[in-house]
Amino acid sequence: MNVCLRFNAGRAVVSAALLSALPSFASDATTATPLEKPFVLFMGADLEVQANRQMHRVSGVEGDAFVVQLKEGPLLVPMNRNVLNMQVTPQLKLSDRTAQVAGLKIERAYTPQNDPHRKFAAAQSGSAAQSAVGTAAGQMSSALMGAQLADQRAGALGGGMASLGGGSAAPQITAFNDASRAAGSDLNNAGVAAGQLQDELAKQLFDAVLVTCEVSAPMAVPDAYLVVVAHYRDKQDPTNLKRWIFAKDLEQLGPEPQKVRVMQGGFPEGYELVRSTVHLYGTGLEFGTNVADKSVRLTREEAHQYLVMEHVAAHKGATLSPGVALGLTAADLQAHFDPTQLEQAIYVKVSRDGLPLGVFRDAECIRPGGETLERLVAVARFTPALAKGKAVEGIAKLKLADLAH
């Protein structure tokens, strides 16, 4: 059916209160199978990015760029811009599009140049120091031999010792002595270096974030992408909560688990990771996942019950006609009706609870819609009519194609 309904942030508080008022929603939330409870109610996120001086909703990710839709067509907005103006709007969403995120870890990490373990490995330069000693020894030996030959030539000419011990070989002798001292110093002592590693690790000067998980979905989904939203504090500015957003193009999401690994640097050293969320999208819609905030699985009837309560709570004092809440798939309708028939008007009597009471071909609800239409409409669920905010029985005027909701 591919349903994904969004509720604005102002109504999210009302919706959350409604959810808590329905104890059956919380039952078996972790043990129910997708077949038993195919819908997920969750706190999702709508992303917007600035392009051409206006904010546009993100519709996809290609490589290292967000995709937005303009009148002229799709536009790629690189993520690596120095200044990327983005908005993340929490949205309570109800969807039958679900995905699984397994083994999720979002943790602080080190960039290679700041990794204490790499520094420790580099500090184990005993072999390097010994190599330096050997190099210096070779250079000193060559210099001394040269000096000795020079002395011998000078002696043959009656000039005596000119270089040995202090002349032209003196710099090489000094270099050899310095290298020897360095090789024997604490800098090349493994025990000392290990202590220094522990001291460095204790400082927790993390400057990167590492995200790892495996993602999968019951059906193949093209153009899928993953978004991580993290909030953190700089220890130099602990009162200011900052936000980091990263998106990864998954190309295609499907039943086969796909490993995801995101390593991103650029964080201030020693930052604090306060909270983070992961979101999965595909074909322009967000998936309900097992790691989404406030994630609750619902049966179809529970989902409809929730939609009715949310509809009434969100339209206090309003007078409205009934509407489709949970419809059919386009394939269900196309299997029984041609395109011309799908444009025909139908009239559905809807109870105050949003249940179909009958379908007709005329506004007076005299001519029945027929057996096939009756059978299909019986599966659909509606939001009830409202009279000054109160749910009442009413008649929904629709095109047959509107049932594909």
| Tokens representing residue 332 in the block | 């269900």
Read off the pLDDT band of 30 (50, 70, 90). Answer: very low
Residue 17: pLDDT over 70? no
Higher per-residue pLDDT: 132 or 312: 312
Mean pLDDT within 49-60: 91
Q: Give the residue extent of every domain in the chain.
A: 4-107+209-296, 116-203, 315-403
Residue 395: pLDDT over 80? yes
Higher per-residue pLDDT: 101 or 17: 101
Question: CA–CA separation, 7 vs 25, rounded Å?
Answer: 18
Residue 14: pLDDT over 90? no
Contact between 306 and 18 (Cβ < 8 Å):
yes
Mean pLDDT within 371-400: 96
Residue 147: pLDDT over 90? no
Q: What is the pLDDT of residue 273?
A: 95
Instruction: Out of 160-164, 175-179, 296-300, give the one with best mean pLDDT.
Output: 296-300
Read off the pLDDT band of 280 (50, 70, 90). Answer: very high
Q: Kindly give the interhelix angle for 300-314 and 9-20, rounded to the nearest 10 degrees.
A: 130
Residue 12: pLDDT over 50? no
Higher per-residue pLDDT: 169 or 234: 234
Mean pLDDT within 226-235: 94
Least confident window among 94-98, 172-176, 254-258, 359-363: 172-176
Instruction: Name 74's Cβ contacts closer than 8 Å, sequence gap at least 6.
Output: 59, 60, 67, 68
Residue 207: beta bridge partners? Answer: none
Residue 351: pLDDT over 90? yes
Instruction: Out of 78-87, 181-190, 251-260, 314-323, give the one with best mean pLDDT.
Output: 314-323
Instruction: Name 62's Cβ contacts closer than 8 Å, sequence gap at least 6.
Output: 76, 249
Residue 349: pLDDT over 60? yes
Question: CA–CA separation, 252 vs 223, rounded Å?
Answer: 6
Mean pLDDT within 50-72: 91
Mean pLDDT within 264-288: 93
Question: CA–CA separation, 10 vs 368, rounded Å?
Answer: 41
Residue 175: pLDDT over 80? no
Residue 88: beta bridge partners? Answer: 47
Residue 125: pLDDT over 70? no
Residue 401: pLDDT over 90? yes
Higher per-residue pLDDT: 325 or 153: 325
Higher per-residue pLDDT: 143 or 96: 96
Contact between 59 and 67 (Cβ < 8 Å):
yes
Mean pLDDT within 149-160: 52
Residue 237: pLDDT over 60? yes
Higher per-residue pLDDT: 13 or 124: 124
Distance of CA 251 to the CA centre of its chain: 14
Mean pLDDT within 37-64: 92
Q: What is the pLDDT of residue 198?
A: 80
Residue 151: pLDDT over 60? no
Residue 343: pLDDT over 80? yes
Residue 37: pLDDT over 60? yes
Question: CA–CA separation, 387 vs 316, rounded Å?
Answer: 10
Least confident window among 17-21, 218-222, 334-338: 17-21
Residue 32: pLDDT over 70? no
Q: What is the pLDDT of residue 284?
A: 81
pTM: 0.71
Residue 20: pLDDT over 60? no
